[in-house]
Structure 1
């Protein structure tokens, strides 16, 4: 099955905050491990960057990807303006061109962009692996970031009405299928 790794909104304006997102260093380390293994196996890596007026305008300091991310010139980048990485971004077209059938999703924020993109991916016909320990958020008044992550890791795989399977798997247990490239 052809795969792609989708890294959502790991940006300065969201991670260089006081306090930072929960387990930010560990989450970024997991993402870096995932992206290195994906590249090794020929799996495309796509970084999605959210933009909004003010602190995260395109090309501003807050819009930039977090400096701790280990990026490669082969990584693709997409811009988005909503929590859905598919809406008005061309992501579906890129994935179709690449022949992707399964997305591995990680990043920020568990309850917004990660959740919405996971649901949208399934609605677009993609199987999804949610990297269970490679997404995060900030604490909220109603729940801690850890509770929010745990909730999404438990509930998203219960959604079956889209058809494609959604699984939550620890990052270290995610296996990338070596991609077959036709010349």
Structure 2
């Protein structure tokens, strides 16, 4: 019986990561661990400007594994649900809970988490497997920590967002039913 460990990887694309991101290599390694252990992997890819669908900049970064059974969703906004096939895909697959990771913490990852939680999905954030760039008023590491704190404290009665490290997620996924 499959446990249905679902992973959504947000915007880990060549064009997105062309801007220096905090600990790209380390984050990619952690995301690969999640990909290896997941039953279902969904890659969300942003399409805008030079990152047109199918172009070189739109592609998933080469250091990430892409399982043959992976699903792909294209988006044009920070929200992975807005005008995309993500909600329909999750419903078709009977998925009501997923783990999320990717880039950028303070934009597309944040928006996708908040919208998904508002839609009623049980969301686990891989606390150490999302990244962003330094911004004008905050360093990437500060933004990552601050967003983990915000997500863990979201006020969604009956549907809290869980924020835990990859090692804890993998331990839960590998435990017997």
**TM-score normalised by L of structure 1:** 0.89
1:101-120 to 2 correspondence within 5 Å?
Answer: 101-120=96-115
Structure 2: which 5+ runs fail to align? none
Equivalent position of 1:16 in the other structure: 18
Cα distance per residue 1:100-144 (max 9 Å; x no partner): 121100000000000000001111111111000100000011000
Equivalent position of 1:45 in the other structure: 41
Contact 2:30–2:129 (Cα < 8 Å) also in 1: yes
Cα distance per residue 1:55-108 (max 9 Å; x no partner): 211111111110000111100001000011111111111111111121100000
Equivalent position of 2:173 in the other structure: 176
Equivalent position of 1:144 in the other structure: 139
Classify the secondary structure of the residue corresponding to 2:173.
coil
Equivalent position of 2:73 in the other structure: 78
CA distance in 2, matches of 1:13, 1:163: 37
Per-residue deviation, 1:163: 3.7
Per-residue deviation, 1:2: 4.6
Structure 1 residue ranges (4+ consecutive) displaced by more than 3 angstroms after TM superposition: none
Structure 1: which 5+ runs fail to align? none
CA distance in 2, matches of 1:137, 1:97: 31
Equivalent position of 1:26 in the other structure: 26
Contact 2:4–2:40 (Cα < 8 Å) also in 1: no
Equivalent position of 1:124 in the other structure: 119
CA distance in 2, matches of 1:162, 1:130: 18
Contact 1:132–1:171 (Cα < 8 Å) also in 2: yes
Contact 1:3–1:101 (Cα < 8 Å) also in 2: no
Moved more, 70-79 or 159-168: 159-168
CA distance in 2, matches of 1:177, 1:49: 28
**TM-score normalised by L of structure 2:** 0.92
Per-residue deviation, 1:151: 0.4
